[in-house]
Amino acid sequence: MRCDECSFVYDDLAVVDVAATLRSVAPRYGARIAGASDVEVRTRPRADVWSVLEYACHVRDVLRIQRDRVALALTEERPDFTPMGREERVVNDRYNEQNPGVVADEITEAANTLASAVEALTPSQWERTGIHHWPTTTERTIAWLARHTVHECQHHLRDIEAVLEANL
């Protein structure tokens, strides 16, 4: 699987590298947030594009949810992963009203927690599955889920760069 927008190739990331990659990408969010003004992190360049802070909150929540999904897949056979409600969370959780510094710290904490969880997986556990509902409903392995999470983190850093550039 390959992302046409950012060129991320899922199979190019070995599962043994997922934890280190998660740990290395998290601080980049803090750096981007700290390097921008409050207006820059909260401004949407267009109505249909999230702000820097909204992308950051989304990534934090993805990391947390994926950790829960890994745990669920380890305890249940083929669990049905409830969709995260990404668009609803932006509004209901007031992403754009959250404290950017706190969100940056929470991304690091969530990335480290997920990284620790995947580091502990055995080879057979990487192959455990659950039903994932994005982009289509299909059975996915924990390995795919972990790679997809890295993709989300890296892809949204690219989105943040585009928002910051548009807001200049």
Find the length of the chain.
Answer: 168
**pLDDT score of 42:** 97
The answer to whether 114 touches 67, Cβ cutoff 8 Å, is yes
Q: Which residues of the chain have pLDDT under 70?
A: 168
**pLDDT score of 134:** 84
Q: Within 13 Å, how many C-alpha atoms sit on residue 32's CB side?
A: 26
The DSSP symbol for 14 reads: -
**pLDDT score of 135:** 81
* Superfamily name and number for 13-166: dinb family like domain (1.20.120.450)
Instruction: Provide the residue ranges of all domains of the chain, joining segments of one domain with +.
Output: 13-166
Burial 67-91, CB ≥16 within 10 A → b, else e: bebbeebeeeeebebeebeeeebbe
| Strands of the chain, DSSP E | 129-132, 138-141
Express each pLDDT in 47-59 by its tens digit: 999 999 999 999 9
**pLDDT score of 124:** 97
Cα–Cα distance, 43 to 30 (Å, whole number): 17
**pLDDT score of 167:** 82
Instruction: State both tokens at 103.
Output: 């969100």
Burial 95-129, CB ≥16 within 10 A → b, else e: bbebebeebbebbbebbeebbebbeebeeeebebb
**pLDDT score of 61:** 98
